[in-house]
Amino acid sequence: MRCEIVAVGTELLLGQIVDTNSSWLGEQLALAGIDCHHHVRVGDNFARIETTLRAALARADAVIVCGGLGPTQDDITRDVIAAVMGVPLDRDDDIATHIRSLFETRGRTMPENNLRQADVPRGASTIAQMPGTAPGLVCPIRDEAGVEKVIYAAPGVPYELKAMTEGTIIPDLRARAGLPTVIGSRVLRTWGQSESGLAEMLAERIDELESHGNPTLAFLASGIEGLKVRVTAKGRDETQVTEILDGEEQYLRGILGDLVFALDDANMESTIIDMLHERGKTVAVAESLTGGFLGARLTAVPHASQVFRGGIVSYASDVKFDVLGVTPGPVVSESCAREMALGARRVLKADVGLSVTGVAGPDEQDGQPVGTVFLGVALGENVEVRKVRLPGDRERVRQFSVISVLNMLRLMLEDKPPQML
């Protein structure tokens, strides 16, 4: 089974948007064991999309088209697919009603051209997952030799594409392929080592695995999401794949120890929220250079409200003194971080207080260079502060500050010393 990816949108050709969809789809196809030999990007032009689709169909058994399903005049993917199939577009009344009702719930009048999104090429079916207003499509088509192939159409909006790919497209492709082998993967998320440090720790294991070929390991530095180690395994069924992944996870945990903070889609914030919830503890934060980013990340976790009390963003120094009760003095300092963590806990009536104060740049502050950050954790009688020098620009310094202070709390909640890199 071969599947190609076609990303539609003039903005992609012009470089106004980086096409992350094709990369993500490529990864999903690889994980599902489906070959993909070409990714093509083409603009919002009828003739060129048509030629591109026909060429892709000639080479492959299936094509995933993303983008061009919106309500505006330049969204023509539906029309082109109908032309390639040689069928008319029929308006789907259920979808039309659904789109109308979405606008009504929001108390807005629906511009008439939104109904174009309810047009479906005759013979195609709509994809059940539909988080936005544009339905995805599964379009069966016979090529010139009479071989049955398929075009999937999904919107370019990443979360809509993701829901449709995972819910319908990949399962449908695997069913069509009658795939005998199963592929699975597991991501070990780590924090506390550099990418090269991690590579060194795992070098021997990677060499061992390379001769064997199953499972395989790959690294991915993912900013605030941590440094990921991905294990990918093949097997005859789910059970065998799970066994291989379990064994490898255990082996790697033996090497990586406390660096591993979560698996797969769990991130540092959800790990912390879960740990606090289990222990029946609440948390409050005091932030300076991160400006609210620490609280924003924690509250991105659904049900954070069970443990997150709130935060004080003490960006101006006198807010640190007046609202948090910090002793006036240099604010990029160990004592300031300590008093901020204690102040957050006291003012916001929480069990745990976290603090971040430092220099995000572009300019240095209090004689401290950009990237100097003090991280504080107040947990029971235990108040710890660590000084770190974080690499990168303003945004990366802020991201690494957030994941690092949460990692300190994680280790302290497990009664381990909060070692920093």
Tell the smallest beta-carbon distance from residue 120 to a copy of itself (Å): 19
Q: What is the DSSP string of 380-394?
A: TTEEEEEEEE--SSH
Q: How far is CA 232 from CA 27, 36, 185, 236, 248, in A?
A: 12, 18, 4, 14, 10
CB neighbour class for 108 (10 Å; exposed up to 12, middle 13-18, buried from 19) = exposed
Closest to a copy of itself by CB, 71 or 140:
71
Taking the C-alpha atoms of residue 337 and residue 374, their distance in angstroms, rounded to an integer, is 6
- How remote is the C-alpha of 11 from its chain's centroid? 22
Q: Which is nearer to a copy of itself, 1 or 17 (CB)?
A: 17
Closer Cβ to a copy of itself, 148 or 395, answer by number: 395
89 φ, ψ (degrees, to nearest 5): -95, 135
Nearer to a copy of itself, 127 or 350 (CB): 350
- Beta carbon of residue 51, minimum distance to a copy of itself (angstroms, whole number): 9
- State the nearest-atom distance from the C-beta of 187 to a copy of itself, in Å: 8
In whole angstroms, how close is the CB of 87 to a copy of itself at the nearest point? 26
Give the nearer residue to a copy of itself in terms of CB position, either 195 or 246: 195
Judged by beta carbon, residue 148 or residue 322, the one nearer a copy of itself is: 322
- The least CB distance from residue 123 to a copy of itself, in Å, is 27
Q: How far apart are the first and last CA of the chain?
A: 45
Contact between residue 366 and residue 333 where contact means Cβ atoms under 8 Å apart: yes
For residue 340, the minimal CB distance to a copy of itself (Å) is: 12
Residue (148 or 393) nearer to a copy of itself, CB:
393
CB contact burial 189-223 (16+ within 10 A = b; e otherwise): bbbbeeeeebeebbeeeeeebeeeeebbbebeeee
Q: Which helix (H) or strand (E) holds 47?
A: helix 46-59
The first and second tokens of residue 45, run together, are: 């032009």
> Toward a copy of itself, which CB reaches closer, 38 or 125?
38
Smallest distance, Å, CB 311 to a copy of itself?
4
Say how far apart CA 340 and CA 344 lie, in whole Å. 6
Q: Which of 167, 59, 71, 180 is nearest to 117 (CA)?
A: 71
Residue length of the chain: 421
Least distance from a copy of itself to the Cβ atom of residue 391, Å: 6
The alpha carbons of the chain give a radius of gyration, in whole angstroms, of 26
